[in-house]
Amino acid sequence: MPRITVTSVLVDDQSRALSFYTDMLGFVPKNDVDLGEFRWLTVVSPSEPDGVELLLEPDAHPAAKTFKQALVEDGIPYTSFAVDDVYETHRELTARGVVFPQAPAEMGPMVTAILDDTCGNLIQLTSAI
């Protein structure tokens, strides 16, 4: 049975992405392998260091930039991360300077908020009410 071990987010600058995802969101580096022009660069949740890795993948392919731009223009998050409390996480991240195009909003049994990852993506945070 397949299982998810790595998922990716397309970023326009791997170094800036690493800084944002670690310094601002609190992920920790897992792998950083030099591949020449780019890197195999992954981060993980500090609470699950052997869990699913998030690959900070270069958006070098022309279709990737078009895809990302269309999502942002339509306000659609590229991916979603679970947090314990969206309201508290929103307060903490806003204090660190993270920009939220969508403040926390209740949607049925969930609370969601959308942040700008500074690398060309909108990322949704979710928690149960």
Structure tokens at 6: 């790595």
In a domain, 91, yes or no: yes
Domain that holds residue 103: 6-128
For 30-71, what is each residue's pLDDT tens digit? 999 999 999 999 999 999 999 999 999 999 999 999 999 999
The reply to whether 88 falls in a domain is: yes
In three-state secondary structure terms, 53 is strand
- Which residue from 127, 51, 49, 47 is spatially nearest to 89, judged by alpha carbons? 127
- DSSP classification of residue 88: H
Residue 96: inside a domain, yes or no?
yes
Is 1 among the domain residues? no
Whether 71 maps to a domain, the answer reads yes
The answer to whether position 82 is within a domain reads yes
Mean pLDDT over the full length of the chain: 97
Q: How many domains does the chain have?
A: 1
pTM: 0.94
CATH number of the domain residue 101 falls in: 3.10.180.10
Measure the CA–CA gap between 113 and 57, rounded to whole angstroms: 23
